[in-house]
Amino acid sequence: MTARRPSLAVVGATGVIGGVMLQILSQHADVWGEVKLIASPRSAGRKLVVRGEESEVLELTEDVFDDVDVALFLVPDAVSAQWAPIAAAKGTVVVDDSAAFRLDPDVPLVVPEINPHAARIRPRGIVASPNCTTLSLIVAVGALHAEFGVRELVVSSYQAVSGAGRDGVAALREQLSMVAGTELGTQPGDVRRALGDVEGSPFAAPVALNVVPWAGTEAGDGWSSEELAIREECRKVLDLPSLRVAATCVYVPVIATHSMSVHARFENEIAVDRAHEILATAPGVVLYDSPAAGDFPTPSDVVGTDPTWVGRVRRSLDDPRGLELFVCGDNLRKGAALNVAQIAESVAAEFPRV
């Protein structure tokens, strides 16, 4: 007996995350039958390569989901909110990368290294993947939680501009070209005055020669939507509805790969040697932690890789139950396309053998 190879649709195939997904589909074990590439009307007709073969991009319509077993949605929230239920109504299992369904109680929020079982129960026919920032830390935190029982997280993010899409990358590159070779950055406000309002920038302040302590939209009481997403998504994935989480999200002048400084407090006392053992053997984690030798993760070293990299692991000086660590994860791979692909592969394994 052999497994039936389910059909797949990639919605948003021409986007940044879609491009990474096509690479992953070509690199991973091929569990799929027909693969349809789908995008907006303006991108329909383009030719893209997946699994070594050229394929024409189809327009997003209701009919395109006929005979599709699994659909990956790599599109903005509004597009997913409109089209994912349409696909699910046709019997297609939707794996969605947007924020549209992450906190819906009838939609599982899945990180395969932590809660793979959750993907099997999907009342709406939809499985959600967490935010890229959450995914940069949750694999490591989840592994430690299984041993020590996490009770509180205090997180500061150092987020790559690709988290804001192509406009974010374009804004940083343009700003860097404008400040290169200058003496800017030595006087109050000189970078902002020199750059002015850079057209198309999604950032509230210059990101070149700077950091911007705001990601997302206003969510009330001074919090951003990105910060509250980390809180709620960690709670849901870990099944800890009362977990205490405080996050501050900051954009930094890095193209791809989010980094996070994490203070985690646990139910039980922490032994750093045991934490090292757990992280060194946890699926999806690379422990890289010898700071005296200069061994710790940085985004420029981690970019383009799949795991969450962890370093600077140390026990809190004033709390035997506290652990400090630094994590890096490529926000376009594990933070987006890879996690969606992993979920989809677990769904593909459910299809009957023939």
Provide the token pair at 66: 């006929």
Nearest to 18 by CA among 46, 86, 217, 308: 46
Report DSSP state, residue 34: -
176: its two tokens: 């860097």
CB 273 within 8 A of CB 301: no
Find the catalytic residue in 132, 234, 249, 328.
Answer: 132
- Secondary structure class of 58 (helix, strand, coil): strand
Quote the CA–CA distance of 213 and 206 in Å, as a whole number: 11
Which helix (H) or strand (E) is 157 found in, with range? Answer: strand 150-158
- How far, in Å, CA of 103 to CA of 130, rounded? 10
DSSP 278-292: HHHHSTTEEE--BGG
Residue 249 designated active-site:
no
Euclidean distance between CA atoms 248 and 158, whole angstroms: 9
Q: How far apart are CA 84 and CA 222, in angstroms?
A: 32
From 145, 234, 249, 258, active-site residue? 258
328 is a catalytic site residue:
no
Residues taking part in catalysis: 132, 258
